[in-house]
Amino acid sequence: MKSALMVWGGWDGHEPKQCVDVFAPILEAEGFKVEISDTLDSYLDEKKMKLLSLVVQCWTMGTITGEQEKGLLEAVHSGVGMAGWHGGMCDAFRNNTGYQWMTGGNWVAHPGGGREYTVNIVNHTDPITTGIPDFKMNSEQYYLHVDPSNDVLATTTFDGAEAPWTAGCLMPVLWKRVWGAGRVFYSSLGHDAKDFDVPECREIMRRGMLWASR
């Protein structure tokens, strides 16, 4: 049986537990045995970590110890999948550049806060995005520093209303990448649980988790 570890915590504003609770039953329906944890110490059990199919993390900001980070990075490098969304994956552990290298990006701003914007699918043949049209979100539009080696699946364009120098900037929203033998998927969508009421947003995350898992 496939196994997934879902780790939540950090800043409450991103509703980490509520968001994890959206996807735990979805993974169970896909045949995963799901463990939900509220401690980063879960990353310390090397043997258990490397037997996982998937790690899903929702932990905004906060700190991670060197040993906790090592446990996670080594598990993904060995072939365990990693998936996450919004700040729970790419605004975690701001001082840990090794973690950021693995995830492929890091949040730096969301000009204007919550706003309506369009997500443009740029790869229509990938299994994560096939059949999904461009769609609207009313949430935080993430401005990220991103790894050029990411395989970008969708983007958004900034209008510059709050930060004029960003006008026309094309920003990745969805990407996948590899870290050693592991697959990594990220979506910048998902500020809070209601974002996943948008069918496209929820379906993309479901597919991304399945793609990342081994």
* Mean pLDDT in residue range 69-83: 98
- Each residue of 8-62: pLDDT tens digit? 999 999 999 999 999 999 999 999 999 999 999 999 999 999 999 999 999 999 9
How many Cα atoms occupy the beta-carbon half-sphere of 192 within 13 Å? 8
Decide if pLDDT at 214 tops 90. Answer: no
> What CATH number is given for 2-212 in this structure?
3.40.50.880
| pLDDT on residue 65 | 98
CA distance 88 to 158: 22
Q: Which two tokens stand for residue 90?
A: 């790419």
Buried-state track 173-211, b at ≥16 Cβ within 10 A, e below 16: bbbbbebeebbbbbbbbbbbbebbebebbbbbbbbbbbb
Which residues have C-beta within 8 Å of that of residue 199, sequence separation ≥ 6? none
Q: Is 142 left (phi over 0), alpha (psi -120 to 50) or beta?
A: beta
- Each residue of 149-192: pLDDT tens digit? 999 999 999 999 999 999 999 999 999 999 999 999 999 999 99
- Each residue of 59-72: pLDDT tens digit? 999 999 999 999 99
pTM: 0.98
Residue spans of the domains in the chain: they are 2-212
